[in-house]
Chain A
Amino acid sequence: MLPIADTTVVEATWVMIVKSLAIFAVIFGILPLMTVLERKLIGRFQHRYGPNRVGPFGILQPLADVGKLLSKEAFRPANAIGTLFILGPLLPVLSGVLALAIIPWGNVQDGVGLYGIDVPIGILYFFAVGSIAFYGLLLGGWSSGSKYSLLGAMRGAAQLISYEVAMGLSLLGVIMMGGSLSLVDIVEAQGSLWFIVPQFVGFLIFMMAGFAETNRTPFDMPEADAELVQGFMTEYGGMRFGSFLLVEYMEIIVVSGVAAAMFLGGWMGPGPGWLDPIWMLTKMLGLVLLFIWVRATLPRLRYDQLMGLGWKVLLPLATLNVLVTAILVVTT
């Protein structure tokens, strides 16, 4: 079998299986906790407690939620397009899981790379795989046969074209400074100075585009629970709806992971080598908290406002950032 991409360190197959299982176990352990954390924090931001009834401090709330979702009927509207409707929630899950693979948790230690996979095309893989999630959104919204879903999907498409370019450009500065596309190499290049300092503009643009990528407030127009009743998810019920929600959190983790690796020095931190994944996780959780904080603060933008922001502000800024970085990298 041909390898999908050149890997820099060759490992035994069982090592890779164990690694992927470990990543799954950790991330899928964090995901439900993140939903509780988000609901509790949003509550605190609004002077209330949030869920605190199920289990100690409401920590078992996701269990109750999933139990409820599983007991629901997998409903399908009469004029939905069957296959695509089922494919809708599956594609984003696939994309999220695939994107998890490149988040670096640490460098090679004892012959084992503490990452899912380190590909030389690194960050391109993230963009390629991350964009698949939007197909799920578009297909799900279109095939539902409902106007709210279609509107949500349309907004999703409009959103996609406005932030993707700026997102790619925002990382270009980091790639130039790191001199590599591989996330591991980029983290290694941040040994002395985290890239958030020289690339602060890039970080801001990336985070804004990240909010749009994950469909989070203030850019949650595809969902827009107020006016589109969850947009592309309107017609979904049960665990299909649940997987859309799950993917949203998975994407937050992925975007936080990439941002932490690209700008916050990834696993860099004081302490012995085995602390590396914990440092990485801490930085990711910090960014997740930022996501929640922003959600508690900002109202939803109209989608022409997002397009204006993407094309008129973020794109020129990102281009300028790339230009200045390029000149500085070449001259020094």
Chain B
Amino acid sequence: MSLKDKLVSSFLAFDDHLEDESPIHDIRSKAIKNFEENGFPTKKEEDWKYTSLKSILKENYSIFPKGENTVELKDVKQYFLHDIDTFKVVFIDGVYSSFLSETTHDSMDICLISSALKKDKYSASIETYYNKIAGEDSLTSLNTAFAKEGAYINIPKNKEVEKPIEIINFVTGKEEALMAQPRNLIIVGENAHVQIIERHQSLTDNAVLTNSVTEIFVEKRAFIDYYKIQNNNSTASLIDSTFISQEQDSNCCLHTFSLGGKLTRNNLKFSQNGEHCDSTLKGITILKDKQHVDHNTLVEHIAPNCESHQDYKGLYSDKSTGVFNGKVIVEKEAQKTNAFQQNNNILIDDKASVNAKPQLEIFADDVKCSHGCTIGQFDEEALFYLRSRGIAKKEAQALLMYAFANTVLESVKIPSLKRRINRIIAEKIGVSIGFNV
């Protein structure tokens, strides 16, 4: 049985099992129908031209984790920002771990989507926001059909969240192959400020497929700083779709660190609905072996006087492959838009490759838009400079890789996280040079 058939037939049992009064019953039914009609995307679709899901769909994934798995804190401590205090919403094989989490209902909600979907006091919020901006593509629909757990974060008006929130999804490998479908809903109220770190971490060498969907609503004058740290385990695959809706004078800055994983697909969709919105999309990708990352970004400038900045850096070694498909749409009303897109890649080995496809669709006539893309090798002159100072070739290359990625790293606003990512990058590059942060 194909994975698609398995999913569709499992849905009936899954749906029966849920309580009937679930307000999202109709949403689920519609979503599974959508998935059934369209199936998994193939390379025939323009948006999936350079990424094939074939190899990861062969696995016999368990769709519902068998039970509550536990992990020892000491085994996973390294994946938390343990040197600073944070709120934490932690899932193990898709199931909430109260032991590892630190949630709150004190003046804001940092809790679970499962309780938000069930409890009456959240019903207004769910009705207003849930599945309102998530796309109708088949993978998002699949998530919508099956999703029952994830983070629910609702920051009320004028609230400045005093410490970062970590959303961490662990996979333990107790199931031979596991499919997880986390679903997050984040609402940042008017003039509220929040920092969120989302991490996907597989603790096993078994095959894992995570199909994650996150909806983020950024209300007027709100500010959200969001960091994605993606799997560094070469048997884990991740499809991560994030939908962001911004209102007037809001600011959303999102960093994506793709540091490995068998296959990673990032769908990032920003809609700027009010004037003076600012959107920043940054990413560092460091891949080796046969790893593959596909960054698919879309920024919709709907209102005038808004800005978007994209800066993606990629370092590809061995036979790794990357895709950058960045689309910017400037609607007719969106005059005085500033939209910039930059994508720079270094191919460390001859067999690594990158496909870059920037697209600008501009319907307004008074805008500033630019895109730039480079794919290259190391700058020989820079390498010679460092080596002439006595630094060996390998270390010199590492220093250059670090310098290359630095424009993305320098905008990380949580020092503890910056140090952490800095260290991961140094490890990935394979040197222990005393970088300054």
Q: Do the two shown chains form a genuine complex with each other?
A: no
Interface residues of A (CB under 8 A from B): none
